[in-house]
Structures are given as structure tokens and as C-alpha cells.
Structure 1
Amino acid sequence: MPRSPQEIFERYVYAGAMTRNADAVAESFTEDGVLEAPLMPPGASFPRRLVGRDEIRTALAAYYARQARDDRVPNLEKSGYVLHTTSDPDVFIAEIDTVFDGDGDADDTAVSLVQIFRVREDRIARLRDYFAPGLMS
């Protein structure tokens, strides 16, 4: 039975945002999958475009290693998302509002983004991730 958009999305989020497991993120993509962050400027710390499972794995492992000191984890009770299906059964859109708890007196940090997923055989064939580039530095 094919995976639902919800299952594909939750698997991807758990592998990336929750556990920062580059191997698991890469395995959620097709062998020729594409991960794009079109709003990222050239030379940014987060890759703008990755093609293929191996490149996704390698680049995200390096990115997660650079971010190791950032121990922020999304507050799941304050965060949320809405999935939108489309007329194309292989495409769905995620609207995401992620909240990170503030440190002591600091306010919570809210991050809003949109992701467009194109899937093939229960894996992500293309993911376009739209977020404010300053959030990934």
C-alpha cells in the first residue's frame, strides 16, 4: 500500500528537523531525488540545490555537523502544519509553523515555511523548501 502524504512528510521531518539524521533524510528521497532551497543565496551554509541521494546525504551530514552546537529542538506542542493535496496525486504542499522555545527570558522563535513535495514510489523525488535564508545560518 502506498504511503500517504502525511506518512512521507512525517518521515522526512523526523529524519531532518527532529533527529538530524542525514542518512535517514537521504533514504526518504529517490536515488535521483532533488532537494532545493530556492531562496538561499549562493555560498550560504545551507545548500541551495542537491541532486541525488548521495549528494543529499553528504551535504546534510556536513551541515548538521556544523550545526551541532545548536541544540534547539522544535516544540511540538506549539508547532503545527497543514498538508494540502493537489490535483496531481504525486504532489502535496506543507505549510509549517515551527516554534522553538526561548532561553529563559528570551521569547520563543517562530519559523514559518512552505515545502512542495513531488513523490515517486513512496519517496521524495523533488522537494522545494521555501524559508527565510537567515534562519539557516
Structure 2
Amino acid sequence: MALTHKEIFERYVYAGAITRNPDAIAAMFTEDGVYEAPLVPDGHPLHRLVGRAAIRTGTGTYHQRPARHGTVNLERSAYVLHDTPDPDVFIAEIDVALDEAGGRATTMSLVQIFRLRDGQIARLRDYFAEPPV
């Protein structure tokens, strides 16, 4: 039974932002899958990753970094999914609510474009820019 776009997206969020599990993230991609974060600078661990091994390594490196921008607040975070005429493409608009030290609350907004093949992610473009330190 094929997963819905919502199920794929929620599994991806659970594997990444919640459990920070590079093996689970990589397993969601096709063997030749591509992860791109076009707005981050060259040299960033997530800039462009091709293949499951690179996705596993890059996301693992990224998730080992200390959380610089606060803790994700799932209750205040939100997303909207948009289907496209192509059943293998959907777009996620995400507002990640962050609780920072000292009680300050901020939001990081981002857009992700998912392209699927046989129920797995073949290409993910993740449009986010990390705030400066």
C-alpha cells in the first residue's frame, strides 16, 4: 500500500528533526536520491548530497552539531502540504517554532520540494537558511 504525501512527510520529520537518525533519513531515499539545500553556503554538511551513503553521512554530521538556534517546539510548529499535478511531487511549507534560552521564542520558515519514485524520495530540495550565530 502506497504512503500518502502526509505520511512520507511526517516520517521524514520524525527521522530528521525529531530523532535525528541519519540511517532512517537515508532509508527514505532512493539509492541514487539527492538532497539539496540551495540556500546554505558551500561546505555546509547539507549543501548537496547524492546517494544514500552521502545523505547518511551529511545528515549525521549536521545532526551532531549542537543546536544553535533553540529547541524545536512541536506544539507551536506548523506545516502545510501542497499537492501538484504530478502525483510524485509535493511541497511542504514549514514554520519551525524554536524555544531559545532566556524564554525567547522564534520561528524559522522553510519550504521543501519532494520528488518521489516508487514511494521513496528521489530528490528533496530544502530551502532554508540558518540564522547567523
The two structures have a TM-score, normalised by structure 1, of 0.89
Structure ranking higher in strand proportion? 2
Pair 24,73 (structure 1): closer, same or farther in 2 beyond 3 Å: farther
1:66-85 equivalences in 2 (<5 Å) = 67=65, 69-70=66-67, 72-85=70-83
Secondary structure of 2:73's aligned partner:
coil
Does 2:17 match 1:56?
no
**Are 2:33 and 1:33 aligned?**
yes
Q: Deviation digits for residues 12-48 of structure 1, max 9, x if unmatched?
A: 000001111000000011111000001112123x321
Deviations along 1:97-130, one digit per CA (max 9) or x if unpaired, are 010113234x212100000000111110000000
Contact 1:28 1:124 in 2 (8 A): yes
Q: CA RMSD in A?
A: 1.6
Structure 2, unpaired ranges of 5+: none
Residue 3, structure 1, aligned to residue 3, structure 2: yes
- Verify the 8 A CA contact 1:41 1:133 in the aligned structure 2: no
Instruction: Please report how far the alpha carbon of residue 131 of structure 1 lies from its aligned counterpart in structure 2 after TM superposition.
Output: 0.9
Q: After TM superposition, which residue ranges in structure 1, 4 or more long, deviate above 3 angstroms?
A: none
Larger displacement relative to structure 2 (21-30 or 71-80): 71-80
* 3-state SS of 1:124 partner: strand
Once the 2 structures are TM-superposed, how far is the Cα of residue 4 of structure 1 from its aligned partner?
0.4
- Mapped to 2, the partners of 1:55 and 1:64 lie a distance apart of 14
Q: What SS is found at the alignment partner of 1:128? A: strand
**Structure 1 contact 29–125 (Cα < 8 Å) conserved:** yes
Q: Distance in 1 between matches of 2:24 and 2:35?
A: 14
Report the Cα distance in structure 2 between the residues aligned to 1:101 and 1:13, rounded to whole angstroms: 18
- Report the residue type matching 1:108 in the other structure: A
Any unmatched runs of 5+ in structure 1?
Answer: none
Identity %: 59
Write the distance in 1 (CA, Å) between the matches of 2:73 and 2:131. Answer: 20
